[in-house]
């Protein structure tokens, strides 16, 4: 079996889960994480802990950390999760076989694909032997960067359909959060960053409550900066809805399925996005989706997923969507039925894991590991 070096943020639950898929095919997994982190019993290479919070210095250290990982691990394949890897790009682009998984923000001009970052991302994509993409929208974004059509492989990553399910018992979570059985539950599951318009969600929820309807809004605070989180809480106080909002910190990944199953509505209204795992997770759990009217989201709806679209940044439109849902209780029933068909077709994790392991096998069989422009690395 092969040695696979994963390059990605070890603090991200999704990247940790994806990076370990190769183990199911018997491969040995190693990790390079720019800001440290723990991945079970996997050996993790990272810059010194003293500079993890010093981004500029940390980025200068990445090429040296990668060189060390290559020398000590002698990987047979490298898989990079997120196409922007700062100065580490200059080391990564010389190794083959190289897999790069794009996320969205790394290749979208209205997020971070611009300036010197765009140059480094394109350099890495040019060198990649394969690029994995979650959707047709991301395929198009890649096509705007370069002629990568023949390199692209569809990997949606998917969700565990036995874990994310409407049938989960959420009574304990409901009691813990102090939510009555007769109250609607709205769930903002996205990262605590300005991009995701959490202030807009709070304002829309306040407008919804002004109609006399009862509900609770759950707000994820994952990866939020302390100042940003303080602003959100103050906003809830200013709106007079603090008793109706549950700020739940960074949700334990093991509990996320319960939150989706509890949620009558899952809200995702950023101005820009890739194709978030939130859609698959909520869909599999039978949670109705209220989404920004973005083309990448429409791609999912086209396949039959029931959702409601609103203009991003518009609290009035979002409040109207929440009221619409309250007036159409059958919407969730329809969403549950349609979502199962959709997720089982394109986002069954078991099948997606097989797709990735098949991709590894194909690349490993096709060519021997090599490090171009320098000393050839052979398996240790």
pLDDT at res. 51: 84
For the chain, which residues make up each domain, given as ranges? Answer: 3-158+348-367, 171-346
pLDDT in tens, the chain (380 residues): 899 999 999 999 999 999 999 999 999 999 999 989 999 999 999 999 888 878 778 888 999 999 999 999 999 999 999 999 999 999 999 999 999 999 999 999 989 999 999 999 999 999 999 999 999 999 999 999 999 999 999 999 999 999 999 899 999 999 999 999 999 999 999 999 999 999 999 999 999 999 999 999 999 999 899 999 999 999 999 999 999 999 999 999 899 999 999 999 999 999 989 888 999 999 899 899 999 999 888 877 765 567 889 999 999 999 999 999 999 888 778 877 887 788 888 899 999 999 999 999 999 998 666 666 555 454 44
Give SS3 for 100. Answer: strand
* pLDDT tens per residue, range 266-323: 999 999 898 889 999 998 998 999 999 998 888 777 655 678 899 999 999 999 999 9
What is the architecture of the domain spanning 3-158+348-367?
A: 3-Layer(aba) Sandwich (3.40)
- Residues 352, 103: Cα–Cα separation, whole Å: 16
pLDDT of residue 376: 46
Give the pLDDT score at 380: 41
* Rounded (to 5) percent helix, strand, coil in the chain: 45, 15, 35
Structure confidence at residue 303 (pLDDT): 56
Residue from 34, 27, 26 nearest 10 by CA: 34
**Comparing 3-158+348-367 with 171-346, is the CATH topology the same?**
yes
- CATH 3.30.160.100 is the classification of domain 171-346: no
**DSSP annotation string for 119-173:** HHHHHHHHH-SEEEESSHHHHHHHHHHS--GGGEEE----B-TTTS-TTS--HHH
């Amino acid at each position: 079996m092969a040695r696979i070096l994963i390059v990605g943020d070890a603090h991200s639950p999704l990247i940790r889960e994806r990076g370990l898929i190769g183990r199911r095919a018997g491969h040995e997994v190693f990790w390079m994480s720019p800001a440290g982190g723990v991945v079970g019993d996997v050996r993790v290479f990272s810059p010194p802990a003293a500079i993890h919070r010093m981004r500029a210095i940390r980025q200068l250290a990445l090429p040296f950390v990668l060189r060390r990982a290559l020398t000590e691990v002698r990987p047979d394949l490298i898989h990079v999760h997120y196409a922007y890897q700062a100065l580490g790009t200059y080391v990564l682009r010389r190794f083959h076989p190289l897999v790069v998984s794009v996320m969205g923000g790394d290749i979208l001009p209205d997020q971070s694909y611009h300036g010197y970052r765009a140059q480094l991302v394109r350099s890495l994509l040019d060198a990649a032997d394969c690029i994995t993409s979650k959707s047709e929208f991301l395929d198009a974004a890649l096509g705007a960067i370069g002629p990568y059509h023949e390199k692209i492989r569809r990997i949606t990553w998917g969700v565990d359909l036995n874990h994310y399910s409407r049938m989960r018992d959420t009574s304990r979570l409901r009691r813990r959060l102090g939510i009555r059985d007769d109250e609607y539950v709205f769930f903002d599951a996205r990262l605590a960053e300005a991009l995701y318009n959490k202030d807009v969600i709070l304002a829309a929820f306040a407008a919804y409550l002004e109609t006399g309807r009862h509900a609770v809004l759950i707000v994820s605070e994952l990866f939020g900066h302390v100042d940003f989180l303080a602003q959100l809480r103050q906003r809830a106080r200013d709106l007079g809805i603090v008793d109706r909002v549950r700020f739940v910190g960074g949700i334990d990944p093991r509990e996320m399925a319960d939150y989706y199953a509890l949620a009558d509505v899952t809200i995702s209204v950023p101005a820009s996005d890739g194709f978030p795992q939130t859609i698959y997770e909520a869909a599999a759990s039978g949670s109705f989706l209220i989404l920004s009217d973005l083309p990448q989201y429409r791609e999912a709806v086209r396949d039959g997923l029931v959702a409601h679209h609103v203009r991003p940044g518009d609290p009035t439109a979002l409040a109207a969507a929440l009221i619409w849902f309250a007036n159409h209780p059958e919407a969730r029933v329809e969403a549950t039925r349609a979502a199962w068909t959709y997720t089982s077709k394109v986002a069954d994790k078991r099948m997606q894991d097989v797709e990735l392991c098949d991709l590894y096998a194909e690349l490993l069989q096709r060519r021997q590991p090599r490090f171009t422009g320098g000393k050839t690395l052979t398996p240790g």
